[in-house]
Structure 1
Amino acid sequence: MPKQRGRAPDTIEQDFLDAIERLKAGLPQHPKHKEWLKKRGSVPISISSVAREAGRARGLIAAEDSKYQKVRNLVLLEAGETGIEPGNRQDVIADLRAQVAELRAELRSVRDHAAYHFKMRSEAEKRVQDYRGRYERLQRKVERSAPRGPVISLFPEDEG
């Protein structure tokens, strides 16, 4: 008995997207595609091959006004078709909003990263100034105490 699949739109769309990835990677699961892979070396990406690989009806992505316009556009893009029209305005707006949200998150991450490095650099510069002052004090101390001997106290509290 064949495996029953859910009817959730996201599951169907995910089946198509997984099929596209498998075909692009050259790892098909459908027996006909495996045979093509042995004979030809690759499986052409088309609406029919993607639907067959996904185990779904090709009518779901074949029509211009299909419910899975995003998948259809991706298949046509992978197949090298030109003049692919985006879906309706709401789809375009939703895609753009998603891109804006991703870019804002990336910008926030980059700003946080830059602030961290600025803070670390400021702290390093302070330590450099501190070490430079210590070095200069020690060098003066060596110059003053050179005639007394080779041992120099590095800590002021040791001197009496």
Structure 2
Amino acid sequence: MPRRPKNQHQDPVEKDFIDALERLRNRQPQHPDLAKKAKLGTLQINVTTVAQEAGRSRTLIGMDDCRYPRVRAAILAEKADVASVVETRTAEDVIRRLRDDRAALAASLRASESENAALLLRLRDVERAAQREIGIAERRATNGQGGRARTGLNTGASQVIPLR
């Protein structure tokens, strides 16, 4: 009887998992949700996505003592390889990152403008108060009161203003 090659999988479920893993590696999944993620560049290869792509239960490959340990080992090895490789960026990733940066900068600008407006209002209030104090000091100097506080009593020489 002829022997089968080692790389040929005898179990059809295991073959489904291996084929799904290969499609995910090639960024060509058949599952609609995973195809969207692949297009956006957010597709990750893990136990859940491989099971979803294969159309099989995650529990068959999800635990250490699972039914298909070779498939699980291949998935975990792929995850380790992906983590060690520098992330390649697609145009969509760059555009998304730039849009996020722009939104953050716009929010920061709005906060700065709001703070500046509040500071400007406070500065105007302080300027008005300073002008008021300058006016009071000038009137005191011309009235001869100097630095004395107003008591309402005529303690100094009275100033009579002629009518004519």
> TM-score under structure 1 normalisation?
0.43
Of structures 1 and 2, the one with the larger relative CO (CA 8 A, separation 6+) is: 2
Structure with higher helix content: 1
> TM-score under structure 2 normalisation?
0.42
User: Which entry has the higher C-alpha Rg, 1 or 2?
Assistant: 2
